[in-house]
Amino acid sequence: MSGPPRTGSVEACKRADGTTYFRGRVCLGDGSRKWIDVPDKYSTPAGGKTARERAELYVHARQEREDENGELLVEKRAREAKALKSAEAHGETWNEWHPRYLEVHERLGKSIRDMKGPAATWVGSRVGTMPMQSITREQIIGIRDAMTNAVFAGSISSKRAMNMWSDIIVAPFSRAFTDDDPRYSSVRVGPSSANPVTSVKPPVTKEQLDEEKRERQPLYPHEFVQLITCEAVPISARRLYVLATYLYPRPQELYAFRWSDVDRTAQEIRVRRKLDVRSGEEKPGTKSDAGIREIPIHENLMPLLQAMYEERASDDERIIPLIGSARLFERFADRTRRHLKLAGIARRELVEGTVDHLPFDFRSFRTTGCTWLAMLGTDSYVIAAQAGHKSPETTWASYIKRGPDLRQRHGEPFPPLSADLLKAPASFGQVLATEPKRTSNFALLQRRGRESNPRSGFSPTPA
């Protein structure tokens, strides 16, 4: 043989009975190396050669055979296939894997709201007892077709079907079968090439979604002035509407704001967390990475923030102190629309909704604030960054079409606030007489705030 041997070293080993045998390494076609035992008849002294020399000749001969027919590599692959099949037959099922996935997902600050039930209904009932690696593309298509039939039957909306498809099918499986997402490495079960969801079309088309989609409508500036100056609407509610509009956060971001999030020097508020409006649980992060941001504080909002700051109990207190009262403004949209009626705002698409427009609800104040930015001619990229949109396309589709032309017809965006908003409300109970146990005496908060930290730290722009 010419050149250095490819087999590596041949070594002598001891058996349990004390006898000696030899083994050597053979290089396989896939670049791996395998130890092989040398039979005794090929590793005993003979023909003037030592036992080791004869063992080396045997291993060299096996290397040549391997180069010619790759029999050891074939055996290796057969063993691996058998092991994989066994693992699939006895591996972690979807029902076992999915709770671990939700735990990791939530730990990363992502919402798992409305995932467990739909996942059990659509996935768990069909493939829940199967090992993850055994779930096939055909079974995923079956789930997709079941969702499609439900849309056609009117059981679920096309938007709901698309959201579920993304949340309980595409995202979980893409993280179970991935090559490059270290955040979900603890729930990885295979490479991306094994993902059964790859290239499976969703249950509804974009055209179907567009047909169903209805837009949220903003309040025009002159309508907003009617609302916040209407004495029949409680001050607590009007303050909340102002914050929701002038800062235009998502509701769960708004409820999580603390006074420590207000940057007095830069005159901006930091968005770093969210609050579950149902449970009251606070979590780090926002809806997406794009949601971590700073929102400029408009100069016309500063006097109200100053007044509310003086009423606080501590700098770490939430700007909206009562989750019980605050969350109901979102959950019971009819309360918001009732306030519109009290203020004499009767535009049909706001109060009742139309084929193309959703009725006005609490989240529509966010739409209002973003639309006002567009009315001021703010660049779509700037609006996207301040609103926490993943892409300016979202901003363009929802807000930019209502642009500067509306400003001439409907008033100046972000108008100055009425003086009565700066007076502390006696109690949040005046907003929700149906929830007296959750009321809070603001006079007490005022007194505690003055005694512990009188007028310190907050330096708004003069009114």
Edge-first strand listing for the sheet containing 293-296 = 262-263, 268-271, 293-296
Distance of alpha carbon 435 from its chain centroid, rounded? 32
pLDDT in tens, 351-407: 888 877 888 988 899 999 999 998 888 888 899 999 988 777 777 766 666 666 677
| Measured distance CA(45)–CA(333) in Å, rounded | 94
Which has more confidence, 4 or 271? 271
| Measured distance CA(82)–CA(56) in Å, rounded | 32
pLDDT in tens, 311-362: 888 888 889 865 454 445 455 677 888 899 999 999 888 888 887 788 898 8
Q: What is the 3-state secondary structure (H, E, C) of 160-200?
A: HHHHHHHHHHHHHHHHHECCCCHHHHHHCCECHHHCCCCCC
Degrees (nearest 5) of the Cα angle 256, 335, 232? Answer: 105
| Measured distance CA(148)–CA(175) in Å, rounded | 24
Q: Which range is least confidently modeled, 67-81, 196-210, 285-299, 449-463?
A: 449-463
pLDDT in tens, 20-68: 999 998 998 887 888 899 999 999 999 899 999 999 999 999 999 998 8
User: Cα(first)–Cα(last) distance of the chain, in Å?
Assistant: 94
Hey, what amino acid is at 447? R
Burial of 218 (0-12, 13-18, 19+ CB in 10 A): buried
Tokens for 28? 């396989």
Mean pLDDT taken over the chain: 81
Tokens for 344? 């004499």
Edge-first strand listing for the sheet containing 20-27 = 10-14, 20-27, 33-38
pLDDT in tens, 108-151: 888 887 789 999 999 999 999 999 999 999 999 999 999 998 88
- Give the strand pairing for 262-263 and 268-271: antiparallel
